[in-house]
């Protein structure tokens, strides 16, 4: 097997990287792929909580990278979704215990075992970021419709290009009513500044918080618009580039289809 490593990053914290990693990972597994999601937020782990797997942790990513355990021992199988595995962060270590060279080596091990490996990148552009992108083949940049978040995404996109990684953009936490009133940046405004391919638009959705608190996967919640949006992103990641991008609308009822203008898959 020769898997693909995708880093989920943003520069800024609290924009939905962890939510996106868990949901897209679940979506890819539901597409029948073998998936590992790796929590690279060493010292501040929370992907395990979002996935409801925190009480199953024995070994973590630092143990696996340092060879203190086998990959299979650190990978926790999801309770509800087949083929989905979590490699949790360590809670006690400092993020400087890992170096990018470690990660490149570890990446090879992961790629031999999984179709897709999603790296949940910590906030910032220091060592944690370096470690997360070291082995990455592709990148998903998560951004909120907020000036400071766009600024940080732009910074990160520059750093990714410098590593020859062409990122794709997820705009998360869109409030359509605010966009329509002109109180929130539209995704067009954001794409104008960042000029990268869009891979999905995710609305603000209370189900995200419910899901996080219950550990019940967002993508399994039928009524969750954010869950549906992440599922579609997962399908596009998995090669369904013909799938149109849907723009969250106010009035709640319908989605507007966007043309192929922001189409992917070049």
Partner 1 sequence: MSAEQQDKNAVRVKGMGDGLCVMLDPDRPPDVLEEELTRVFTPLRHLAVNARVMLDFGDGEGGDALVGKLGDFLRDSFGVGEVARIARRGKNGPDERLRQRDMDQSWHHYRSDVLMLTGRVRSGQKVTARRHLLILGDVNPGAEVAAGGDIIIMGSLAGTAAAGQTDDLESIVLALDFRPTQVQIGPVMAAGLPASPRPFPEYAHVEEGGIVVEDYIRANPFGRLPWPEVR
Ligand X SMILES: Nc1ncnc2c1ncn2[C@@H]1O[C@H](COP(=O)(O)OP(=O)(O)O)[C@@H](O)[C@H]1O
Q: Are 168 and 196 in contact (CB under 8 A)?
A: yes
Residue 157 touches which member of ligand X, Mg ion, partner 1, none, C-beta under 5-8 Å by kind: partner 1
Single out the residue of 15, 25, 154, 150 nearest to residue 87, CA to CA: 25
Q: Say if CB 74 and CB 87 are below 8 A apart.
A: yes
Contact status, residue 131 vs residue 98, Cβ threshold 8 Å: yes
In angstroms, the CA 187 to CA 141 distance is 14
Q: How many residues bind ligand X (CB under 6 A)?
A: 17
Is residue 212 within the footprint of ligand X (CB under 6 A)? yes
Q: Whose Cβ is closer to partner 1: residue 118's or residue 194's?
A: 194
- Binding mask 172-201 toward ligand X (x if CB under 6 A, else -) reads xx----------------------------
- Provide the β-strand partners of residue 77: 85
Sign of CA pseudo-dihedral 229, 263, 34, 96: negative
| Cα 144 from Cα 187, distance rounded (Å) | 9
128 binds, among Mg ion, ligand X, partner 1, none (CB under 5 to 8 A by kind): none
27 binding ligand X? (CB under 6 A): no
- Smallest gap from residue 192 Cβ to partner 1 (A): 9
Judged by beta carbon distances under 5 to 8 A according to partner kind, the member of Mg ion, ligand X, partner 1, none in contact with residue 260 is none
- Residues 134 to 193 in contact with partner 1, rule: CB under 8 A: 147, 150-152, 154-155, 157-159, 193
Choosing among Mg ion, ligand X, partner 1, none, which partner's interface includes residue 209 (Cβ < 5 to 8 Å by kind)? ligand X
φ/ψ bin of 148: left (φ > 0), alpha (ψ from -120 to 50), beta (otherwise): alpha
Q: Which does 154 bind (CB under 5 to 8 A by kind): ligand X, partner 1, Mg ion, none?
A: partner 1
Q: Given CA atoms 174, 241, 104, 69 in this order, what sign does their dihedral have?
A: positive
Identify what 195 binds: ligand X, Mg ion, partner 1, none; CB under 5 to 8 Å per kind: partner 1
Q: Report the C-alpha gap between 130 and 134 in whole angstroms.
A: 6
Q: Smallest distance, Å, CB 208 to ligand X?
A: 4
In the set 205, 219, 234, 238, which binds ligand X (CB under 6 A)? 205
Which residues here bind partner 1, judged by CB under 8 A?
147, 150-152, 154-155, 157-159, 193, 195
């Amino acid at each position: 097997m020769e898997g693909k490593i995708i880093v989920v990053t943003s520069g800024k914290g609290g924009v939905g990287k962890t939510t996106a990693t868990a949901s897209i990972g679940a979506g890819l597994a539901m597409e029948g792929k073998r998936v590992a999601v790796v929590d690279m937020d060493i010292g501040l782990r929370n992907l395990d909580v979002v996935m409801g797997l925190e009480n199953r942790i024995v070994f973590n990513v630092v143990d696996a990278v340092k060879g203190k355990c086998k990959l299979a021992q650190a990978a926790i199988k999801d309770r509800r979704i087949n083929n989905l595995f979590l490699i949790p962060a360590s809670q006690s270590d400092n993020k400087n215990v890992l170096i990018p060279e470690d990660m490149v080596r570890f990446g090879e091990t992961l790629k031999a075992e999984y179709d897709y490996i999603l790296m949940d990148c910590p906030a910032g552009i220091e060592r944690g970021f370096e470690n997360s992108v070291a082995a990455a083949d592709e990148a998903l940049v998560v951004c909120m419709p907020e000036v400071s978040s766009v600024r940080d995404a732009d910074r990160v996109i520059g750093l990714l290009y410098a590593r020859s990684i062409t990122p794709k953009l997820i705009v998360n936490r869109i409030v359509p009513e605010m966009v329509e009133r002109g109180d929130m940046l539209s995704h067009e405004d954001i794409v104008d500044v960042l000029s990268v391919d869009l891979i999905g638009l995710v609305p603000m959705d209370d189900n995200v918080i419910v899901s996080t608190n219950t550990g019940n996967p967002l993508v399994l919640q039928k009524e969750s618009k954010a869950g549906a949006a992440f599922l579609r992103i997962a399908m596009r990641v998995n090669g369904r580039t013909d799938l149109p991008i849907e723009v969250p609308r106010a009035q709640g009822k319908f989605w507007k289809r966007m043309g192929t203008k922001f189409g992917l898959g070049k």
